[in-house]
Amino acid sequence: MSLELVNIGSDKFREECGLLGVWGHPEAANLTYLGLYAQQHRGQEGVGIVSIDPTAGDAHPGPKRASDAPSNGGFAVHKGTSLVADVFKGFDFKKLPGSVAIGHVRYTTAGGNSLANVQPFVAQVSLGKVAIAHNGNLINADQLRHSLIKDGAIFGSSSDTEAILHLIARAPKSISVEEAVIRALEKVQGAYSLLIAFRDRIFAVRDPAGLRPLAIGKLDGATVFASETCAFDLIGAEYERDVEPGELVIVSDKEVKSYFPFPRAQPSPCVFEYVYFARPDSNIFKKNVYPIRKQMGIELARESGVDADMVVPVPDSGVTAAIGYSQEARIPLELGLIRNHYVGRTFIEPQQSIRDFGVKIKLNANAAVFSGKRIIVVDDSIVRGTTSRKLIDMFRRAGAKEVHLRISAPPTSDPCYYGIDTPRKEELIASKKTVEEIREYLNVDSLAYLSLEGLYRAVGSEPGTMCDACFSGNYPLGTPEKPGGPAQEELFGESS
């Protein structure tokens, strides 16, 4: 019998990364582990934690003292290419000592899924040892890498994040650590929420457009950072505020400082965090996700109501919007699709003779619920259309009389360059087919998407105040081919 590993990830855009940082807590690494566990949905292919013991050795390079810890300079690392629970199964957290830690969960997009690409990255630079974790994507990464390699840099990964480390490493010894980080970030373009940890301070920063989230919390006098506030809930931290777009927060034992060192830009936080990526119990960009996602269903029902017997959500992504749709349309919500929660991202596919079970391994249509009924199926997106088509086929075979598909976001017609794993434009069904053509392809009785205006109404923001490029093609920072940010300056003009 030939066995084959098959990726059964659903046909969705995928969040690339989640961050967690702790400054000033005796159980920093353990808290980081828990905070990453809560954010597992933001990245399932790699996890890493770097802990720092600020009391071990000198904070800056210089003559060693007899009491100094040996070679690691107070930094300890544990990483793996799997889920948080797997990578840390049976792990002894005494191996990650210290009151400071940063951690990262990731998907594979830029570069392969090798251990070398799992963050945080650690490097020894002239300013001391440094660790970095990044949520986002740099649109000038290729140019940066090319220039850095030309200048003698040796890359240990294929990640764009490593370029930031190399830029920090090139800072002249005469400038402060703050200045070195600011000068490095002035050279990057794109989306970044970053945690950068030296032994005596931690930097938390969001790019000037604030594409990706990053929040600050407090726990027993310690400062914590997380992509999503659901991480704070798990570790018992209290949300304090967001790191603002373009803000650089520096936390040390002495103080917490805040700078806005970069040219101001129009904030453009990612609207898709509300549509799909973030957990419904998280606050993202200062708003709770659940009521917004529910409102998307309400707006959808107002825009494109249809007479039917029941509303059926596609679990889990369509559930919250379906609740809103059902309440607004006064049509009962029924769980006609049942999800197997124990299916991993990959499974061993059996022999050809019993292979043709498609999405049924993950979702099963319960005929007893809707046989002979007119159903409204609610989901948050159609990416390639392949999974949706199989789902609709499942509903038909199970006896649904009519199938009306409602999508709680506009058609995803364009790829993301700002830290989200999306297929190429030509693979997105909405980039090449009209809504009517998609309806025909999916074999549904009717199909409607939420309008962009309806999406902004649900979020409670003015149209155009967030990044909506995957729906509109309007990229606030430009694309890698067409950078829209400030002209690229000579990389090493002032620092080499």
- Does 23 engage in binding with ligand SF4 (CB under 6 A)? no
Select from 390, 369, 380 the least CA-distant residue to 309: 369
User: Can you tell me which of 17, 383, 467, 477 binds ligand SF4, judged by CB under 6 A?
Assistant: 467
Could you tell me which residues come within 8 angstroms of residue 94 by beta carbon, excluding any fewer than 6 positions away? none
DSSP type of residue 478: B
Applying CB under 6 A, what is the total number of residues that bind ligand SF4?
Answer: 11
- Does 416 engage in binding with ligand SF4 (CB under 6 A)? yes
Q: From the CB of 415, what's the least distance to ligand SF4, in Å?
A: 7
Candidate segments 162-170, 328-336, 416-424, 441-449, binder of ligand SF4 by CB under 6 A: 416-424
Cα–Cα distance for residue pair 471/463, rounded to 1 Å: 12
Name the β-bridge partners of 78: 49
- Does 211 engage in binding with ligand SF4 (CB under 6 A)? yes
- Does 177 engage in binding with ligand SF4 (CB under 6 A)? no
- Judged by beta carbon, residue 327 or residue 479, the one nearer ligand SF4 is 479
- Does 469 engage in binding with ligand SF4 (CB under 6 A)? yes
Q: From the CB of 476, what's the least distance to ligand SF4, in Å?
A: 8
Cα–Cα distance for residue pair 127/170, rounded to 1 Å: 10
Cα–Cα distance for residue pair 429/99, rounded to 1 Å: 48
Q: From the CB of 193, what's the least distance to ligand SF4, in Å?
A: 12
Cα–Cα distance for residue pair 57/70, rounded to 1 Å: 8
Amino acid at residue number 67 = S
Number of residues written out for the chain: 496
Which residues, numbered 80-119, are part of the site for ligand SF4 (CB under 6 A)? none
- Judged by beta carbon, residue 271 or residue 394, the one nearer ligand SF4 is 271
Pick the catalytic residue from 17, 270, 467, 470: 17
Which residues, numbered 229-288, are part of the site for ligand SF4 (CB under 6 A)? 270-272
Q: Dump the DSSP string for 116-172.
A: GGPSPEEEEETTEEEEEEEEEEETTHHHHHHHHHHTT---SSS-THHHHHHHHHTS-
Q: From the CB of 275, what's the least distance to ligand SF4, in Å?
A: 8
User: Can you tell me which of 470, 477, 485, 491 binds ligand SF4, judged by CB under 6 A?
Assistant: 470
Amino acid at residue number 153 = A
Q: From the CB of 437, what's the least distance to ligand SF4, in Å?
A: 23
- Judged by beta carbon, residue 413 or residue 495, the one nearer ligand SF4 is 413
Cα–Cα distance for residue pair 74/97, rounded to 1 Å: 8
User: Can you tell me which of 37, 325, 370, 418 binds ligand SF4, judged by CB under 6 A?
Assistant: 418
- Judged by beta carbon, residue 198 or residue 272, the one nearer ligand SF4 is 272
Which residues, numbered 332-371, are part of the site for ligand SF4 (CB under 6 A)? none
Q: From the CB of 413, what's the least distance to ligand SF4, in Å?
A: 10
User: Can you tell me which of 17, 110, 359, 420 binds ligand SF4, judged by CB under 6 A?
Assistant: 420
**In 301-339, which positions are buried (b, 16+ CB within 10 angstroms) versus exposed (e)?**
beebbeebbbbbbbbebbbbbbbbbbebbebebbebbee
Q: From the CB of 270, what's the least distance to ligand SF4, in Å?
A: 3
Which residues, numbered 369-388, are part of the site for ligand SF4 (CB under 6 A)? none
Measure CA 411 to chain center.
Answer: 20
Would residue 230 show up in a list of annotated catalytic residues for this protein? no
Tokens of 99: 């009151």
Select from 301, 457, 17, 226 the least CA-distant residue to 466: 457
- Would you tell me which residues interact with ligand SF4 (CB under 6 A)? 211, 270-272, 416, 418, 420, 467-470
Which residues are the active-site residues? 17
